[in-house]
Amino acid sequence: MTHSPSRDILERWATGERIAPLPVREGAAPPAISFEFFPPKTPALETQLWACIQRLATLRPNFVSVTYGAGGSTQERTHATVLRIVQETDLTPAAHLTCVGATREAVDEVARRYWDAGVKHIVALRGDAPNGESYAPHPGGYAFAADLVAGLKRIADFEITVAAYPETHPQAPSPEADLDNLKRKLDAGATRAITQVFFDNDVFLRFLDRALAAGIKAPIVPGIMPVTNFKQAANFCAACGTSMPKWMAELFDGLDDDAETRRMVAAATTAEQVRVLQANGIDEFHFYTLNRPDLVYAISRILGVKPQPQSE
Ligand code: FAD
């Protein structure tokens, strides 16, 4: 077996043809980006989060979102983090809010507090039952995300983002039913969907085709997660129905004790993922930052997003 370049590549070199793995979209406008953070549990993690927010803020994201812990367990911390973003930055915050384990009145009260504090964008979700139990709607609560979207719209004219699942939500009876559910959420007043994390771009692009064919016109923004810890990510993905490609397992194989190489592999694979999406016309990206700025910062730069001066 030889490892020399193929005849085809040699011929292209000979003619001086530039071999680029992807079309470089010179002159194209940089994409819109958004970042997701989780509320910190300890003062040390809060310091880490704020360093992360400050670094990523220079890239002028469209908005930054703060998650709501499983079962609403981080309600106060989510609220405090979102409020601090309002008070100390000029970023536009989006607060995640879930239906799980709460009455409609309690959820509405949280939403009203956000609106009164100037937080006008909600990422509206059903949420999951804590500890891996199966989900059952609270008797007096919003049963599904579509109900929550409608409830929020009754309170105020929130901008609302919802979740979408290129690989189908694990509890959906079928991909078609799941797409109908996405449509219901958008029909109820949401104007954007962010996807569950995925690693196979074809799956995402086929999902966009299906959504378009179903009459969905709202933007469906890819949720991008740079993976540095393959084992941890594999556990998370198994729970949320995201498949981990075999090539990815192979790339990380044997790197458990080599954090630096894992970071380089993560940077390369995520950069490749977003550039392929960009080459396919995707112009909006949402990054799951895990409260760590460096990889996401570099990948945003690779997409053409540059730091901008702070507005006065
Ligand atoms: P829904 O849209 O309500 O759908 C849930 C399931 O129910 C689907 O299978 C759907 O097809 C089905 N369904 C919907 N309506 C009906 C109906 N009327 N009858 C029967 N079945 C129905 N979780 C958190 O706890 N906190 C977060 O901050 C958080 N942020 C997230 C951000 C993003 C971008 C994403 C993609 C997920 C996030 N999650 C979060 C996880 C999310 O809560 C779970 O994936 C949850 O299992 C589903 O939430 P959903 O809003 O998609 O639910």
Whether residue 22 lies inside any domain: the answer is no
For range 95-124, the mean pLDDT: 97
pLDDT at 14: 75
Contact call for residues 125 and 98 (beta carbons, < 8 A): yes
Distance CA 237, CA 243 (A): 7
Q: The CATH number of the domain where 69 resides is what?
A: 3.20.20.220
Whether residue 309 lies inside any domain: the answer is no
**Cβ–ligand 1 contact at 163 (below 6 Å):** yes
Distance CA 184, CA 124 (A): 13
- Reported as a single tens digit per residue, the pLDDT across 235-280 is 999 989 999 999 999 999 999 999 999 999 999 999 999 999 998 9
Nearest-atom index, ligand 1, CA of 168: 9
CA of 163 to the centre of ligand 1 (A): 7
To which residue do tokens 């079928």 refer?
174
Report the 10 Å Cβ neighbour count for 291. Answer: 19
- What percentage of the chain reaches a pLDDT higher than 70? 91
Distance CA 160, CA 175 (A): 23
Pocket test for ligand 1, best of 168, 181, 220, 221 (most atoms within 8 A of CB): 181
- Reported as a single tens digit per residue, the pLDDT across 75-109 is 889 999 999 999 999 999 999 999 999 999 999 99
Residue 5 has pLDDT above 70, yes or no: no
Distance CA 163, CA 123 (A): 8
Beta-carbon contacts of 204 under 8 Å, excluding residues fewer than 6 positions away, are 166, 195, 198, 222, 277
Whether residue 256 lies inside any domain: the answer is yes
Q: What angle do CA 234, 238, 241 make, to 5 degrees?
A: 125
Q: Which two tokens stand for residue 307?
A: 């730091």
pLDDT at 2: 46
Domain range for 200 is: 7-16+29-302
Residue 112 has pLDDT above 90, yes or no: yes
Whether residue 169 lies inside any domain: the answer is yes
Ligand 1 atom 20: residue of nearest CA: 172
Whether residue 296 lies inside any domain: the answer is yes
Distance CA 220, CA 165 (A): 10
Residue 16 has pLDDT above 60, yes or no: yes
The number of distinct structural domains making up the chain is: 1
Starting at the earlier edge strand, list the strands of the sheet with 121-125: 220-221, 192-195, 159-164, 121-125, 93-98, 63-66, 32-37, 284-288, 223-224
**Cβ–ligand 1 contact at 145 (below 6 Å):** yes
pLDDT at 312: 52
Catalytic machinery residues: 36
To which residue do tokens 């949420």 refer?
127
- Reported as a single tens digit per residue, the pLDDT across 150-197 is 999 999 999 999 999 999 999 999 999 999 999 999 999 999 999 999
Q: Which two tokens stand for residue 97?
A: 């809010």
Contact call for residues 185 and 149 (beta carbons, < 8 A): yes
Ligand 1 atom 39: residue of nearest CA: 127
Whether residue 275 lies inside any domain: the answer is yes
pLDDT at 131: 80
pLDDT at 21: 58
CA of 128 to the centre of ligand 1 (A): 7
CA of 126 to the centre of ligand 1 (A): 4
Nearest-atom index, ligand 1, CA of 169: 9
Please report the DSSP string for 3-23 in residue order: -SPPHHHHHHHHTT----SS-
- pLDDT band at residue 132 using 50, 70 and 90 as cut-offs: confident
Question: Can you list the alpha helix ranges (DSSP code H) found in 58-174?
Answer: 75-88, 104-116, 145-155
**Cβ–ligand 1 contact at 144 (below 6 Å):** yes
Question: Average model confidence (pLDDT) for the chain?
Answer: 92
Torsion angle, alpha carbons of 224, 226, 227, 229, to 10: -130
- Reported as a single tens digit per residue, the pLDDT across 134-148 is 999 999 999 999 999
Beta-carbon contacts of 296 under 8 Å, excluding residues fewer than 6 positions away, are 35, 56, 226, 287, 289
CA of 8 to the centre of ligand 1 (A): 48
